[in-house]
Amino acid sequence: MAKAENQISVLQLKKLKPENKGDRLADGGGLAGRVFAGDPVSVGFTYQYRSPETSKLREISCGSWPADDLSIIRKLRDDYRQQVRKGVDPLAQRQREQEAAEAARLAAEAEARAKAAEAARQAARLSYADLVSRYEFAHTGKLKRLGEMMRRHRKDAMPAFGDVLADEVTAEMIIAAMQKINERGAGYQSYILAADAGRIYNWARALRLVPAAFNPAAEIDKARIGTPDKMRERILSETELRTLLGEQTMPLRWRLALRLILATACRITEACAARWVEFDLITGIWTLPGERSKNGKAHTIHLSRFAIDTLEQLREVSPGDWLFPDKSEQHPIRHGYLSRRIHLARQNGTLALSGNWTAHDLRRTAATTMGELGVIPSVIDKCLNHQERNRVTATYQRQQYMSERKAAFELLGGRLELLANPEADNVVTLKRA
């Protein structure tokens, strides 16, 4: 059997010449070779078998001599023959193995890509602080009061969860920060913090900086934990105004700030950031630029004699660009600074008027005083630079009431001047509703 199967010798193979090209050599046991011309001559061997899977005659390569040793070629034939005896088609099995290997290679490549994508996603994840910085950059120059929003976040949100990945911030983390704010009696700031966080996350969702459905602030009942803004009704009485406008040991600059707000009915933020270039003391006009007004529109404020006198005194203590510069003299103070100065002055007794009032209450008091002096509501709204809420009125009634506004500010200034005069003992108190 062995002799019938091993009919080709190595010596016989070595004697082959190029002219033997195409000759077929039988080794037995289904193994045969075909001569190929070359230098040296080579013989390609195949094993012929009947497929146990399809019953068809098939051939499968077993190697090429002399690149492969004849004994190795025969050993490979024996392995294939053993597979056939076990009911396996060697060619079909090789195909299956190749397909499995290819599938494994593709799977490995897909896994590698998935890992790389996940690594990139992890690397691209932003901390909450990074997300807030992006929001600030995207909205600078576009969103009013952005500065206030960012200051609130840096004060209360960043210490609490600024280092946490933005898509891992939880409602509980935000609530904990809100409760800490509540502890210092700032329920409205607590409410606003959650509202700000919600706005930031809605923006981030639209840009796919966080998962599309992710917004932990949306899960919070802000009104239950914080305190929604309630309309203040505090108006200083004329007795209180006489005290406020009277002699105080509070630093002159801050006393003049309170007088300016009263005389012009401006917002505290508008006063704190005012520049001298906006004022014309000769014509008695303060032109508030649109970028600094709440409604984005330039606003003309008429300056009464009382207001001009206040500004002239202020000019002596603030000769630079700003009416109320910070310590660097390069920037204006923030409105919170003025509020703190008022609070401190009440505590140390340098401001005689105590009680629950704020600088913004002075604006409300000024408007109320105008009304008590006979100024009609539509003119008062123009003096305050209020936006007309009725769309029809806003569309068709464009009058600015400039002369009426000037008269209103003159009436207000005259009343304040009278209240500020310590020798005016016979002042008749205006009746209030």
Q: What is the pLDDT of residue 431?
A: 58
299 φ, ψ (degrees, to nearest 5): -135, 130
Distance of CA 43 to the CA centre of its chain: 73
Q: What is the pLDDT of residue 389?
A: 55
Strand partners, 275: 322
C-alpha 232/C-alpha 215 separation (Å) is: 31
SS3 content of the chain, % helix, strand, coil (to 5): 55, 10, 35
How is 341-389 classified by DSSP, letter by letter? HHHHHHHHTSS---SS--HHHHHHHHHHHHHHTT--HHHHHHHTTPPP-
Residue 12: both structure tokens together: 């016989």
The three-class DSSP label of residue 24 is strand
The CATH architecture one would assign to domain 128-225 is Orthogonal Bundle (1.10)
The three-class DSSP label of residue 68 is coil
Distance of CA 324 to the CA centre of its chain: 32
Q: What is the pLDDT of residue 398?
A: 45
Q: pLDDT below 70 — which residues of the chain?
A: 1-3, 229-232, 388-399, 424-433
Residue 86: both structure tokens together: 């076990």
Q: What is the pLDDT of residue 28?
A: 93
For residue 18, whether the previous peptide bond is cis, meaning omega lies within 30 degrees of 0, is: no
> To which CATH superfamily is domain 2-94 assigned?
Integrase, DNA-binding domain (3.30.160.390)
Q: In what order do the strands lie in the sheet with 299-302?
A: 279-280, 285-288, 299-302
Q: b/e for 211-228, b at 16 or more Cβ within 10 A?
A: eeeebbbeebebeebbbe
> To which CATH superfamily is domain 238-420 assigned?
Intergrase catalytic core (1.10.443.10)
Domain boundaries, the chain: 2-94, 128-225, 238-420
